[in-house]
Amino acid sequence: MPITDILERNCKLYGNDICLVEINPEIKETRRVTWKEYELMEPNPVTHYRREITWSVFNEKANRFANLLIQRGIKKGDKVAILLMNCLEWLPIYFGVLKTGALAVPLNFRYAPDEIEYCLNLAEVDVLVFGPEFIGRVEEIAESISRNRLLFYVGDNCPSFAEDYNSLTANCSSQTPMIPLTDADDAAIYFSSGTTGFPKAILHNHESLMHSCKVEQKHHGQTKEDVFLCIPPLYHTGAKMHWFGSFLEGSKAVLLKGTKPEFILDAVSKEKCTIVWLLVPWAQDILDAIDRGDIKLEDYELSQWRLMHIGAQPVPQSLIQRWKKVFPHHQYDTNYGLSESIGPGCVHLGVENIHKVGAIGKAGYGWQVKIVNENGEQVTRGEVGELAVKGPGVMTCYYNDEQATKEVLRDGWLFTGDMAQEDEDGFIFLVDRKKDVVISGGENIYPVQIEDFLRTNNKVKDVAVIGIPDKRLGEITAAIIEVKEGMSATEEEINEYCMKLPKYKRPRQVIFADIPRNPTGKIEKPKLRKMYGGDSLVAVQNKS
């Protein structure tokens, strides 16, 4: 069944229940309120930095936007792009698009004007919905992109080149548009992360979206009583598809705008969050803040927090070992996925397998996996090969890119570009991205293995290992290291620490600098290779 049916069901069963809360701590009162003080306040105090809606309001807003689109001639198969920061309007707009039979096309909030225009053209978008943070960027390209598409603005003080979403939807019917939908109908276009150039447009149908709901709920056992804290951007499959498990059960979710440790723990405490999905840097920041004494756990009510899970990137074993020492009652899980596989869950560790921390797990609910060589043949257990997945969540294609589709889709299998190996118990471990493997003197070196080792150094906050050109060996490895706040390290210290590694895995260069990550937590290695891939490298001492 199409995913829009779940929203209709939630409205009927839980219409008066709160479904979404938006918190923006950047504009809250300067005085911090501890959870103990918060408990003495009126229930759910209304402030200018916290907004909430019920399931009935969610559905009503989705219907109003759907009916506006239909009035303007949008029909089944058309495309509506969403360029918004996380907010209460985001998901009702997304579902409003789906209810028309049109395709929702979420856009990365970091896109520059030329990237926005590129994606609108690639996906053949008919409508762009954007928020106040993007007025300047959209204005730069407004003349060209408005010739053949509608522009709707969500926020106060609508710019002259767009139409006001709020006033237009207020006058539209709140009744559900009766557009027939099937599992096979196209539903959404997501864009690849773009870490290797301009992004590709990834087409999914309604079956994909619905399967992601089932996968998430099967893996993490959400119930109506759970509260999910959503921090990553909703344009990305990771955040939204983890929320889909809560959506399926009709439970509440909290959209937090901000990633500071105190913001996260405040939200968990005050909103009684039970499930939190973190990226590696955020989990690291929380632990570091606790270690420094910047955060005192007794200031928060965290006993209801049952599950911390991480995705979007390899997870260092040392990080989870630290986490479990601080939060011993937490279940931990990790999910592996790609936008091409409708986000997380095609490979899944499982909360019962914490003894296998470091692995990404086994095939997720409804999924098949295999590891293959360059000829597409399955390798023997223990050998490194490319991970391929198959299941109801695999994309239909790269939209308008037949050649790229053929390169990754073969007989229903999605070839992920990730190198992996399977251990004796059948658990899969990521080795590295196929494109990130460094070949030095004919030896394959997997940067993730070196990164995991370097993260065990108590001075290292973050690290990225890349290959840089070398006349003799072809490539050599360079470790870019971000040192923890208040600490310093030298190249000699790092080299000495790396003596524990086999000689061929030891970094040949050490560079102290910040590690750039995109909004979904992935290290932007192309950017690092561009910055440090020249002939001359200078190790810069990190300033504490």
Question: How confident is the model over 83-90, as a mean pLDDT?
Answer: 95
**Quick one: pLDDT at residue 238?**
80
At 258-294, the pLDDT tens digits run 889 999 999 999 999 999 998 877 898 899 999 999 9
Averaged pLDDT, 508-535: 78
Region of poorest pLDDT, from 26-40, 243-257, 294-308? 26-40
Q: What is the mean pLDDT of residues 382-405?
A: 94
Q: Quick one: pLDDT band at residue 47, thresholds 50, 70, 90?
A: very low
Q: Give the whole-angstrom CA distance, residue 229 versus residue 275.
A: 6
Q: What is the pLDDT of residues 244-253, one digit of tens each?
A: 999 999 999 9
In this prediction, residue 430 has a pLDDT band, given cuts at 50, 70 and 90, of confident
Q: What is the pLDDT of residue 538?
A: 36
pLDDT of the residue at 456: 87
pLDDT at 443 exceeding the cut of 50: yes
Residue 70 has pLDDT above 80, yes or no: yes
Alpha carbon of residue 318 to chain centroid:
22
Q: What pLDDT, on a 0 to 100 scale, did the predictor assign at position 306?
A: 97
DSSP annotation of 535: S
pTM of the predicted protein model: 0.81
Per-residue pLDDT averaged across 158-169, rounded? 96
pLDDT band, very low/low/confident/very high, at 527 (cuts 50, 70, 90)? confident
pLDDT band of residue 91 (cuts 50, 70, 90) is: very high
pLDDT at 45 over 50: no
When mean pLDDT is compared across 166-170, 276-280, 468-472, the lowest value belongs to 468-472
Domain formed by 360-434, architecture: Roll (2.30)
Any idea what DSSP says for residue 42? P
User: What would the two tokens of residue 370 be?
Assistant: 């295999």
pLDDT exceeds cutoff 50 at 78: yes
In contact, 296 and 328? CB cutoff 8 Å:
no
Q: Which amino acid is at 123?
A: A
Q: Could you give the residue range(s) of every CATH 3.30.300.30 domain in the chain?
A: 437-532
Q: Return mean pLDDT, the chain.
A: 88
For the ranges 21-35, 355-369, 386-400, the lowest mean pLDDT is seen at 21-35
Tally of helices (H runs) and strands (E runs) in the chain: 16, 27
| pLDDT (0 to 100) of residue 202 | 96
**Amino acid 32: pLDDT:** 43
Of 11-20, 382-391, 412-421, 511-520, which one has max mean pLDDT? 11-20
Token reading at 120: 């609108």
**Which residue did the predictor score with more confidence, 441 or 465?**
465
Task: Determine the pLDDT at residue 502.
Answer: 77
Residue ranges matching CATH 2.30.38.10 in the chain:
360-434
> What sign does the CA torsion over 527, 529, 531, 532 have?
positive
Residue 392: pLDDT above 80?
A: yes
Is the Cβ–Cβ distance between 63 and 96 less than 8 Å?
A: yes
Nearest to 132 by CA among 168, 157, 115: 157
pLDDT of residue 193: 65
Class at the top of the CATH hierarchy for domain 437-532? alpha beta
- Position 35 scores a pLDDT of 42
pLDDT of residue 520: 60
Q: Which fold has domain 4-326?
A: Rossmann fold (3.40.50)
CA distance 266 to 258: 11
Q: Which residues, other chains included, contact 392 with Cβ-Cβ below 8 Å and sequence gap of 6+?
A: 207, 208, 211, 366
Of the two residues 441 and 212, the one the predictor is more confident about is 212
Which segment of 192-206, 227-241, 382-396, 490-504 scores lowest on mean pLDDT?
192-206
Residue 368: phi and psi, rounded to 5, are: -120, 150
Distance from C-alpha of 79 to C-alpha of 94, rounded to nearest angstrom? 11
Q: What are the pLDDT digits (tens) for 190-230? A: 998 654 457 899 999 999 999 999 999 999 999 999 999 99
Beta-strand relationship, 331-338 and 368-372: unpaired
Instruction: Give Cα separations from 488 to 16, 493, 495 (angstroms).
Output: 54, 10, 14
pLDDT attached to residue 471:
65
Residue-wise pLDDT for 14-35, tens only, equals: 999 999 999 998 764 433 444 4
